[in-house]
Amino acid sequence: MTQGINIIGYNIKSLREKRKLRQEDIASFLGVSREMVSYYESGARNIPLDTVNRLADFFQVELEDLLEENPDLRKANIAFAFRAGELGPEDFQTVSDFHKIVKNYIKIKSLCEKHGC
């Protein structure tokens, strides 16, 4: 990528488009305006860290995937397991919450394997 491109915004837009979501879908999930999502994607506004974390959960990716400049190095977990057109705002929240639980479980399991539980 060329210097000056907003990597996080680019990755958010790329993930959104790959999943055939609208900016309105993301805005509804975040509780912001569609214009704010557009600003995030274009780099016109900085994205608060808690919002970046929520977006990672929403897209079911690790935070590092949103920060990755080289799309070839992104993890394989950026594939969504559902058709976005069949889900509503409450469904997006449920999927995000579930993903957060799974990530926490995997982290705890990894710590237990390293240090014994």
pTM listed for this prediction: 0.63
- pLDDT (average), residues 49-66: 88
Find, among 42, 75, 48, 39, the residue nearest to 59 by Cα.
Answer: 75
Cβ distance 74 to 68 under 8 Å?
Answer: yes
Q: Is the dihedral of CA 94, 100, 104, 107 positive or negative?
A: positive
* Residue, of 30 and 74, whose pLDDT is higher: 30
Q: What's residue 79's pLDDT?
A: 45
Least confident of 11-15, 28-32, 72-76, 93-97: 72-76
Q: How confident is the model at residue 12 (pLDDT cuts 50, 70, 90)?
A: very high
Q: How confident is the model at residue 13 (pLDDT cuts 50, 70, 90)?
A: very high
